[in-house]
Amino acid sequence: MVATQTAKPVSAPGAEHTVSVPGAAPSRIRRLSRAVLPGPAPGANGAALYRRWWLPWLWTAPAIVCAVVFGVFPFLNTLLLSFTDAKPLGGAASFVGLDNYTRMLDDSDFWLATRNSILYALIVVPLMVLLPLLLAILVEKNLPGIGFFRSAFYTPVLASSVVVGLSWQWLLADDGLINTWLEKAHLIRDAIPFLSDSWLILFSAMGLTLWKGLGWYMIFYLAALGNVPKELHEAASMDGAGAARRFWHITVPGVRQAMMLVGTLTGIGSLRVFTELYMLGGPTGGPGGADRTLPFYIKDVGLDPITGNAGYGSAVSVALFLLTLGLTLLAQRLTREDES
């Protein structure tokens, strides 16, 4: 079949063209249209410029440079230092191979700090996942004056960690507010050693972390609760489901993704905790350094200008990185299983 072609006059580059082919299929008409009336040449207008392959790399170049300078380079430098005996104040460093890692495996202080960090995460993460959710449910309803309570619960997030630590020192000291009140109420005879007992310091620091983070994660859950359909709660109530049953079967599944996110962020933050223990336990990290976490231990062994060893501190930093990476991969695996 011989196809006859008629085309409307072209008014401008890129204008819509129509090709009439009697008896031809629509797909063949489109092919003939492109063949007879080709589009504008590359670079003929501004739109072609934005289709350059290198343009996305140009827009993201500042972020890539910042990530390399402030993220990739420090990590590679730390990894390299972990195989040397570098000093905190600089100077010549010698390659020592795996000596720092071998020393780390036989270091009882390292394992004590690892135990404290893992224990910190095991206790803080479940509480930080659950308590802000309960707090968000309490302040979710639009009641008169509820905005005051939302602001009050969020206020600790805005306070400096140093200010919060000093305030808790004043509360928990032997002659602090809590011990004084308990003694006047004749509930205790001797002051409770919140800041001098190794276990109580650790638990006090956990309480400080929880108190300061509740408001922050409450905001996460308030946003997630807004996506849970109210009709499900109303239907469950009509079927006779109580508050506890509606919480476990409607609220928890509805905010499960937010719970995974809060758990991951809290776990990473718990492994990196430093300020709370420093403010409550002092520069030694509790009596005899018994409450030191891994970041605290890295500061002691790697940054001391006289006795420190930056190479060994870097090796402990790599161990902390692997521990954090393992926790993150575990959280991602749980999230994928939940989505599937």
What pLDDT shows up at residue 15?
46
Residue 310 CA, distance from chain mean position? 27
pLDDT per residue as tens digits for the range 302-313: 888 888 899 999
Using CA atoms, how far apart are residues 281 and 201, in angstroms rounded to an integer? 7
Instruction: Give the pLDDT band (50/70/90) at residue 1.
Output: very low
What pLDDT shows up at residue 316?
94
Mean pLDDT of 117-137: 93
- Check pLDDT > 80 for residue 24: no
Percent of the chain with pLDDT over 70: 84
User: Which of these, 45, 94, 111, lies nearest to 316 by C-alpha position?
Assistant: 111
Instruction: Give the pLDDT band (50/70/90) at residue 189.
Output: confident
Q: Is 6 in a helix, a strand, or coil?
A: strand
Mean pLDDT of 39-43: 50
Q: Average pLDDT, whole number, for the chain?
A: 83
What predicted TM-score, i.e. pTM, was given to this entire model?
0.77
Mean pLDDT of 94-116: 92
- Check pLDDT > 90 for residue 133: yes
Instruction: Give the pLDDT band (50/70/90) at residue 87.
Output: confident
Q: Is 95 in a helix, a strand, or coil?
A: strand
Q: Beta-carbon neighbour count of residue 208 at 10 Å?
A: 24
What pLDDT shows up at residue 4?
45
Distances (CA, A) of 87 to 49, 100, 294: 52, 13, 19
The answer to whether 221 and 130 have CB atoms below 8 angstroms apart is no
Using CA atoms, how far apart are residues 121 and 281, in angstroms rounded to an integer? 18
Instruction: Give the pLDDT band (50/70/90) at residue 5.
Output: very low
Instruction: Give the pLDDT band (50/70/90) at residue 28.
Output: low
Distances (CA, A) of 325 to 164, 250, 262, 273, 321: 29, 32, 16, 16, 6
State both tokens at 70.
Answer: 């402030």
The answer to whether 260 and 331 have CB atoms below 8 angstroms apart is yes
- Check pLDDT > 60 for residue 42: no
pLDDT per residue as tens digits for the range 235-261: 888 888 888 888 888 888 889 889 989
What pLDDT shows up at residue 2?
41
The answer to whether 127 and 210 have CB atoms below 8 angstroms apart is yes
Return the exposure string of 254-276: e unless at least 16 CB atoms fall within 10 Å of the residue's CB, then b.
bbeebbbbbbbbbbbbbbbbbbb
Q: Looking at 5-19, 170-184, 189-203, which range is the least confident one?
A: 5-19
What pLDDT shows up at residue 150?
83
Specify burial of residue 37 (Cβ count, 10 A radius: 0-12, 13-18, 19+). middle
The set of residues, in sequence order, having a beta carbon less than 8 Å from that of 12 and lying 6+ positions away, is none
Mean pLDDT of 117-127: 93
